[in-house]
Chain A
Amino acid sequence: MLIKKSAVELGQLIAAGEVSAVEVTQAHLDRIAVVDDRVHAFLHVGSGSALEQAAAVDARRAAGETLGPLAGVPIAHKDVFSTHDMPTTAASRILQGWRPPFDATVTARLRAAGLVILGKTNMDEFAMGSSTENSAYGPTHNPWDLTRIPGGSSGGSSAAVASYEAPLATGTDTGGSIRQPAAVTGLVGMKPTYGGSSRYGLIAFASSLDTPGPFARNVLDAALLHEAFSGHDVMDSTSIDAPVPSVVAAARQADVAGLRVGVVREFSGDGYQPGVLARFHEATELLESLGAKVVEVSCPAFDYALPAYYLIAPSEASSNLARFDAMRYGLRVGDDGSRSAEEVMALTRAEGFGAEVKRRIILGTYALSSGYYDAYYGKAQQVRTLISRDFDAAFEQVDVLVSPTTPTTAFPIGERADNPMAMYLADLCTIPSNMAGNAAISVPCGLADEDGLPVGLQIMAPVLADDRVYRVGAAVEKALEDRWGGPLLGKAPQL
């Protein structure tokens, strides 16, 4: 079955001429047609353009061109990445029907590498959320249990890959929006070093935190995708002008002998599901058995990461989302000739933004206000510095840090919808790496005993040491798959 194959395998089969890119693409389009009315991973499926792109890859191959390892492999893009040939809405009403005149750097680079775009995936509106329930176009369902959330904000991407609708997907991680959905759907999800992947063409949520990254069903696939879109981009001033860490080689290396692993003391205890902690402890024991040296490390400032994040991210968002004003693009409400520009702006924003987006705009506007700036935004930036220092100190002692990716497994749709604080806790363990900008990955580490749902292991490494988390992640993956007799996703119910 083509759809069960990894991206690496698909790339090889296409390269060897054993299967065409068109066949691979058609297989995934067929799968989408069968399951997506239940999963709702996609906001837009571009069947025609996907088959055209696939045919173009086949033609290039037939003409004797040597193509990259992922040429002809299908991919789904989170609807936050601009695509010139597909709508790009960030799951918001305010951008309904918006078709950008340009590609994001990530989508452009992947197009150039021959990846075939299946469509655009659902997400929490403007990437604000941890469940994909905040989409203006309805929630996405977790393939492991359709009554549960697939994580968020990149929940459409996680659900698409976990339900075999796509072998690969892109996401963005601002506070955990790749790692958390990957964890709760049994996937590999990676947040690269901030600045390692370009934000150009990515609809901004929080500029200093937003990081594009890959979803895949195994570590090597994720590394290949990571390498394909990463690297310096002159269009993004915050992109790092340094060679991309050799993540593919690291994923192939897959060993941890002699490596020093730190367990973050602050990420355990109250609020952590027992089944999550049990799988996490097994993973640390596994690392030890593979030759790593595991020690406990304390990062006290991590306790303040969540509140500081909920000042910084909304502050930046309140400014980033100001451009949605009905003047140049997107939704326009109330423009009947009787109203002023300000009134039309206000009506449009009232109708175009969802409740969570409005909550964060108000929060951010408040935090930046004169008289409150120092106490809120300013203080949060200081906390951010302390978090970076905790990471620096920890990485003096150990090579990587580990923690559960999320405190709990996937929760039922609707359970936390009216309780923002409970929702925000889903990102407790992932936020510090966004605040410090370092590399972090989530890999599957088993199913929780209570609910039989996937648990993620988070592995964190210093800035620009992205290769290190792939190396450790691949070693864990290999050992666990040996134990399980195949990928964790094989245990998911048939859709």
Chain B
Amino acid sequence: MSTDTVMAYDEALAKFEPVLGLETHIELGTASKMFCGCATTFGAQPNTQVCPVCLAFPGSLPVANRAAIEGIIKIGLALNCTIVEWCRFARKNYFYPDMPKNYQISQYDEPICINGHLDVEVEGRTYRIEIERVHMEEDTGKSLHVGGATGRIQGADYSLVDYNRAGIPLVEIVTKPVEGTDVLAPEVAKAYATELRELVRALGVSDVRMEEGSMRCDVNVSLMPRGAKEWGTRTETKNVNSLRSVERAVRSEIERQAAILDEGGRIHQETRHFSEATGTTTSGRSKEEAQDYRYFPEPDLVPMAPSREWVEEIRASLPELPAARRSRVQGEWGLSDLELRDVVNAGALDLIEETIAAGADAGSARKWWMNELSRHATVQGVELAELPITVEQVARIQALVVSGDLNDKLARQVFEGVLAGEGTPDEVVAARGLKVVSDDGALSAIIDQVIADNADTADKIRSGKVAAAGALVGAVMKASRGQADAARARELILEKLS
């Protein structure tokens, strides 16, 4: 495989201005497919979620799924789009073995949602990403190309097709060209994809898992010389399967295109594939030899005409959206911008909010998730939400701290126990015998021993140097293996040495 010449990113940006465009596909999490009653469970045995309609048997006809249309209207409204009063499905015609009908039911010049926007924040600056359209379509099946070096159809020995995915409702969200991002183009692209994912997740219409393909981004990039007015030729990069890849794909395309343009070459309008392994893109099929899709209105379906009442009903039912929610919790929890960003990036917002709902105070809830539990998640290489601990359990541990039954150090041991599968917080406390020693009798004996062992320090305290008590408290804690109530120990020490 040939390696493209690239120009260093900073140099590329000194010479050229990038223009971005993002096309995002989101599989809706409806119980059934877009045009038939088949189930949509991810990961089922191949070709077990199929029927005459999604296999395109002769004579079968599509019937539109109302839940999917409701889902796309939710997305459109959340993206500040206009929901049109009347629109149609269209057929996009091309032959491919994983597309049963050899046309995809999609929308062409009459999308259901138009003219919206989504604001994203990068390095303290807000970028408004204009949304051109949001339209409804169906997913294709999945091809597995066996043999050959690349896992792509070229050079494969044979291919297998799984039609389970064929006909799953798919929403395509297309931005208008995004200008003015300058050096932050990769970050803005990633921020957009991130915000869109949060938004759709908040709406509850998709699980938006990029790794499972329920959210897929195509990234369009073009460059124009600094000061130029006319946009350059764009490429469309597919196979971008993570948020980080969105950023890397933009950066890599900028570096590649800049090198070509700088040498007086021209950019081919083409589809490119992003490789996670190399972080670069490689050429796919050229748009110039691309298909003529022969779009025409789908005659098997009646037009979609969502009533205004229905649209308003859906609007009224929208949950709190991520931007509004972030500004609310920032105020409620008293967070700085930076702290808020950390919480969001850690994926801890829901967890903290639910922990608070389960009885913890905001500060403690955030502290446990962002420090102790984040550390465990990093060590185990999982998302916070995947840790084997519930928000109720976190709140319970904090309640034990508040009641004085645990101190922070003991609490950390309880977290460890719960995460290790030793049971509920109370079971871990009981099994490990973790209990703050605040019983004066037991504590008093330890203190007496500590005073005897540290006569010099004790003398200092007797002579009025109260600050030295800290050293004795530390010794008491050590002697009690952390179970002593530090505040009570300090009181007793001062009492005894006054």
Q: Which residues of A contact B (CB under 8 A)?
A: 81-82, 88, 90, 95, 98, 100-102, 104, 199-204, 206-208, 234-238, 315-316, 318-319, 322-325, 327-329, 341-342, 345, 365, 368-370, 373, 377
Contact = CB atoms under 8 A, between A and B. Distances in A.
A327 B296 contact: no
A319 B91 contact: yes
Contact of A368 (B63, B101, B294, B302): B294
A365 B293 CA distance: 10
A316 B57 CA distance: 17
A416 B64 CA distance: 42
The SS class assigned to the B binding surface is loop
Interface stretch (B92-100, B258-266, B418-426): B92-100
B94 to A, nearest CB: 9
A200 B299 contact: no
15 contacts: A82-B59, A88-B58, A95-B58, A100-B52, A100-B57, A200-B59, A201-B59, A236-B63, A237-B64, A318-B294, A322-B93, A325-B102, A328-B57, A369-B292, A369-B294
A325 B301 CA distance: 23
A322 B58 CA distance: 11
A323 B105 CA distance: 13
Contacts of A201: 59-60
A208 B58 contact: no
Nearest to A126: B58
Contacts, number: 101
Given A82-B58, A235-B61, A237-B64, A322 B300 contact: no
B39 interface: no
A237 B59 contact: no
Interface string B49-71: 00010011111111110000000
Which residue, B59, B63, B161, B296, has most C-beta atoms of chain A within 10 A?
B59
B127 interface: no
B41 interface: no
A329 B161 contact: no
Given A207-B300, A238-B302, A325 B59 contact: no
A199 B62 CA distance: 11
Given A101-B52, A200-B60, A327 B97 contact: yes
B159 interface: yes
A370 B292 contact: yes
A30 to B, nearest CB: 31
A35 to B, nearest CB: 30
Which residue, A81, A102, A341, A342, has most C-beta atoms of chain B within 10 A?
A341
Given A322-B103, A329-B58, A368-B294, 11 more contacts: A200-B59, A200-B60, A206-B299, A207-B299, A208-B299, A238-B300, A318-B93, A319-B103, A319-B294, A325-B102, A341-B159
B36 to A, nearest CB: 10
B59 A327 contact: no
A324 B293 CA distance: 18
Contacts of A208: 299
A318 B296 CA distance: 11
Contacts of B61: 199-200, 235-237
A181 to B, nearest CB: 21
Contact of A325 (B97, B299, B302): B97
Contacts of A98: 58
A322 B295 CA distance: 14
Nearest to B301: A237
Contacts of B64: 237
A354 B438 CA distance: 94
B296 A319 contact: yes
Contact of A237 (B62, B101, B294, B295): B62
B59 A203 contact: yes
A81 B58 CA distance: 10
Contacts of A373: 294-296
Which residue, A95, A101, A325, has most C-beta atoms of chain B within 10 A?
A325
B102 A323 contact: yes
A327 B161 contact: yes
A206 B296 CA distance: 13
A200 B53 CA distance: 10
Contacts of B103: 319, 322
A323 B100 contact: yes
A234 B302 CA distance: 12
A323 B58 contact: yes
Contacts of A377: 296
Contacts of A365: 294
Contacts of A327: 97, 100, 161
Contact of B55 (A104, A206, A328): A328
Contacts of A368: 93, 294-296
B95 A322 contact: yes
Contact of B302 (A81, A206, A237): A237
B156 to A, nearest CB: 9
Given A102-B52, A373-B296, A342 B59 contact: no
Contacts of B293: 370
A46 B296 CA distance: 40
Ranked nearest first, the 3 interchain pairs of A and B with the lowest CB-CB distance are A322-B102, A368-B294, A207-B299
Interface in B116-168: 159, 161
Contacts of B102: 322-323, 325
Nearest to B97: A341
A207 B159 CA distance: 32
Contacts of B60: 200-201
A120 to B, nearest CB: 13
B69 to A, nearest CB: 13
A325 B59 CA distance: 15
A373 B100 CA distance: 25
Contacts of B63: 234-237
Given A325-B95, A341-B159, A100 B58 contact: yes
Interface in B423-481: none
Contacts of B59: 81-82, 88, 100, 104, 199-204
Contacts of B91: 319
A101 B302 contact: no
B263 to A, nearest CB: 33
Contacts of A328: 55-57, 100
Contact of A323 (B56, B294, B300): B56
